A = this chain, B = another copy of it.
Amino acid sequence: MAVVVTAAMVVIGDEILSGRTKDRNIGHLAEILTAVGIDLKEVRVVPDEEDEIVAAVNALRQRYRYVFTTGGIGPTHDDITADSVAKAFGVPCEYDARAYPMLEAHYDARGMEYTEARKRMARMPRGADLIDNPISVAPGFRIGNVHVMAGVPAIFQAMLDNVLPTLETGTRLLSETVPCPYGEGVIGGPLAEVQKAHPETIIGSYPKYVDGRFWTELVVRARSPEALEAGRRAIEQMLADIAASLPNQA
């Protein structure tokens, strides 16, 4: 039996919504989760506003097995993720007894002042577990099924590497890509028939438009190798049939 594990993501940050910063974390999380057998089902990008963060986290944590957030856990006034997630869970946001001395020791060792701003990074919802940050020390955290991580891609990726082994994973959704020389208008009808005949697969069609010409990538996904193989063969047969019937539209 295929095991399905679902997840959602909340990207927190005005800078993404203004277009100033181009998000790179959605694609990375999506790829990694797919690779380990977790289905990313929804992403929300929300501004640096407490009510919006609380609403998104609460909507998604009830609906999906895991939630991952990026952004807003630094030391400045616009970093309000820890407070917002604490509010979402109805617990206080306070200095964490592990994070506080860890950061203090880090700055002491470098002769740097442990400023109020830096102390902010030790604040997290009561009951949270730390997510190790091998790059810049200030940890992320997990509370319930919500994993709160940095927005800087290098740090997000390092934190995610630390989180992955702790996650329950599902049956991997296998996929194969079949390049198709025809535009979607040619294959749309027969491809829908293939999908109908192979309900245990998910067949996607992705139009490509390069140098004024359309072609298509067909992707078949399934949780069993047998279903995947049957779907792929049916697509290849369909392409062969089209080639035979439409020699001039290749």
Partner-B contacts on A (CB < 8 A) = 11, 14-23, 26-34, 39-48, 52, 74-79, 107, 112, 115-118, 120-121, 135-136, 152, 154-155, 173, 175, 184-189, 191-192, 195, 202-209, 214, 219, 221, 249
- When the two chains form their complex, are residues A21 and B185 in contact, meaning their CB atoms are under 8 A apart? no
- When the two chains form their complex, are residues A209 and B135 in contact, meaning their CB atoms are under 8 A apart? yes
- When the two chains form their complex, are residues B42 and A30 in contact, meaning their CB atoms are under 8 A apart? no
Q: Which of A43, A112, A115, A184 has the most CB of B within 10 A?
A: A184
Interchain nearest-CB distance for A55 vs B (Å): 10
Q: How many copies does the complex hold?
A: 2
Q: From the candidates B23, B75, B203, name the one contacting A188 in the complex (CB within 8 A).
A: B75
Residues of chain B with a CB closer than 8 A to A187's CB:
76, 117
List 7 other contacts, CB 8 Å, given A23-B23, A117-B184: A18-B175, A21-B206, A41-B52, A43-B44, A74-B188, A76-B184, A121-B185
Q: From the candidates B16, B76, B204, B207, name the one contacting A14 in the complex (CB within 8 A).
A: B204
Interchain nearest-CB distance for A58 vs B (Å): 14
Task: Return the chain B residue nearest A150 by Cβ.
Answer: B207
Interchain nearest-CB distance for A97 vs B (Å): 20
Interchain nearest-CB distance for A109 vs B (Å): 14
Interchain nearest-CB distance for A182 vs B (Å): 10
Residues of chain B with a CB closer than 8 A to A29's CB:
19
Q: From the candidates B11, B19, B118, B205, name the one contacting A33 in the complex (CB within 8 A).
A: B19
Residues of chain B with a CB closer than 8 A to A214's CB:
136
19 contacts between A and B (CB under 8 A): A14-B202, A14-B204, A16-B27, A17-B30, A18-B40, A23-B26, A42-B46, A42-B47, A74-B184, A75-B184, A76-B188, A77-B195, A112-B249, A115-B185, A115-B188, A116-B188, A117-B188, A120-B188, A136-B214
- When the two chains form their complex, are residues A209 and B16 in contact, meaning their CB atoms are under 8 A apart? no
Taken together as a complex, chains A and B put the C-alpha atoms of A76 and B22 apart, in Å, by 30
- When the two chains form their complex, are residues B43 and A117 in contact, meaning their CB atoms are under 8 A apart? no
Residues of chain B with a CB closer than 8 A to A115's CB:
185-186, 188-189
